[in-house]
């Protein structure tokens, strides 16, 4: 049973968010400083997280687990895109709202959760979801926020996050072992992702009033669609896959955690960079993150009950 350890880790990250918000409220930091940190997170720390996850010895068991996790990640993302498409048609969902349903905090939140609850040796399976997430986020997701400019394939392929995926796959399949100082450098920077993301979100939240956070009542709709509807469908799909396809239920749970995560912190950062109502995006991120203190452990308990 990992529900309690998960809740503890989520609460720990949320305390960091509150601390950053307090620094803004007291005038030590300014909300606009978050733009620099957003660029640092998107283009430096996140690529290190992606690359670092591939620094493992490839065994037949790991290879099978990676394929399983990747296939499930694709299925979850396809499900979430379907929900977002329906919301766009019948709920007139904005790009921030649709992105908040589709993209989850898989790198920023799930990596520290998996490491804490299951152990570092399980983190590699998160790389499959991270790969799927990054390919989709930096192509389809980017188009959600930057519709005025045509998709530049060269720009996408040269994005640090996509390059990190390519480099990671090369070292994984070539069985390259990095020199210890270099490996430690990647590992140390990657370890920043959880706290840094919470700091960025907290800085934006610090510039908001509590009333302002709930000013747009649609935030509760996004909360329901992301943390209840999308997550619930993902749990039943994962349980069905584990039982009917006789998949390793422990490995299935890793991409499931990614599907149960709150809205991606990257959405806040993209909203900041492209002037797409960052405060609303942050409100969604905060409420979904707060709700996941209870929702993720409860959904995992249901998954474990379903798979036996």
pLDDT per residue, tens digit, the chain (308 aa), is 677 777 777 788 778 988 999 999 999 988 888 888 888 988 898 888 888 878 878 888 888 999 999 999 999 999 999 999 999 999 999 999 999 999 998 877 787 778 777 776 787 888 889 889 988 888 888 888 877 665 667 766 777 878 888 898 898 888 888 999 999 999 899 888 888 888 887 887 788 777 767 778 899 999 999 999 999 999 999 999 999 988 999 999 999 999 999 999 889 878 888 878 888 888 898 889 888 888 998 999 999 999 98
Q: From CA 137, how far away is CA 21, in angstroms rounded?
A: 27
Pick the closest to residue 269 from 136, 152, 139, 108 (CA basis): 108
Alpha helical stretches, state H, the chain: 3-25, 34-40, 46-52, 60-90, 95-102, 111-117, 126-136, 142-145, 153-157, 160-173, 180-190, 193-206, 210-213, 218-224, 231-244, 249-260, 265-273, 278-307
Tell me how crowded residue 200 is: count the other CB atoms within 10 A of its CB.
Answer: 29
Contact between 138 and 162 under an 8 Å Cβ cutoff? The reply is yes
Please give the structure tokens belonging to residue 101: 């349903």
pLDDT of residue 145: 85
Q: What is the pTM of this model?
A: 0.85
Pick the closest to residue 135 from 221, 73, 55 (CA basis): 73
What structural domains does the chain harbor? Answer: 3-307 (1.20.1530.20)
User: What are phi and psi for residue 191, nearest 5 degrees?
Assistant: -65, -15
pLDDT of residue 6: 73
Pick the closest to residue 222 from 194, 259, 262 (CA basis): 262
pLDDT of residue 200: 85
pLDDT of residue 103: 96
Contact between 188 and 49 under an 8 Å Cβ cutoff? The reply is no
pLDDT of residue 9: 76
Q: From CA 122, how far away is CA 81, in angstroms rounded?
A: 27
């Amino acid at each position: 049973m990992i529900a309690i350890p998960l809740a503890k880790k989520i609460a720990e990250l949320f305390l960091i968010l509150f601390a950053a918000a307090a620094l803004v409220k007291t005038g030590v930091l300014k909300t606009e400083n978050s733009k620099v940190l957003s660029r640092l997170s998107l283009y430096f720390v996140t690529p290190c997280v992606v690359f670092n996850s591939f620094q493992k010895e490839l065994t037949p068991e790991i290879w099978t687990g990676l394929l399983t996790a990747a296939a499930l990640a694709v299925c979850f993302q396809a499900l979430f895109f379907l929900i977002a498409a329906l919301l766009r048609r019948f709920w007139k969902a904005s790009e921030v709202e649709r992105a908040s349903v589709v993209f989850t905090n898989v790198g920023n939140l799930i990596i520290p959760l998996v490491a804490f609850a299951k152990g570092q040796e399980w983190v590699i399976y998160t790389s499959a979801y991270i790969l799927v997430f990054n390919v989709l986020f930096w192509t389809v997701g980017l188009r959600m926020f930057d519709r005025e400019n045509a998709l530049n394939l060269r720009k996408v392929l040269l994005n640090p996050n996509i390059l990190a995926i390519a480099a990671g796959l090369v070292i994984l399949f070539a069985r390259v072992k990095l020199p210890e100082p270099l490996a430690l450098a990647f590992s140390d920077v990657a370890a920043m992702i959880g706290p840094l993301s919470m700091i960025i979100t907290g800085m934006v939240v610090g510039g908001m009033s509590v009333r302002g956070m709930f000013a747009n009542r649609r935030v509760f709709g996004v909360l329901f669609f992301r943390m209840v509807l999308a997550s619930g469908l993902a749990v039943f799909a994962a349980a069905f896959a584990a039982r009917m396809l006789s998949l390793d239920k422990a490995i299935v749970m890793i991409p499931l955690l990614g599907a149960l995560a709150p809205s991606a912190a990257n959405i806040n950062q993209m909203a900041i960079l492209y002037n797409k109502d960052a405060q609303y995006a942050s409100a969604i991120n905060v409420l979904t993150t707060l709700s996941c203190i209870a929702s993720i452990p409860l959904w995992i308990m249901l998954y474990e009950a379903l798979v036996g």
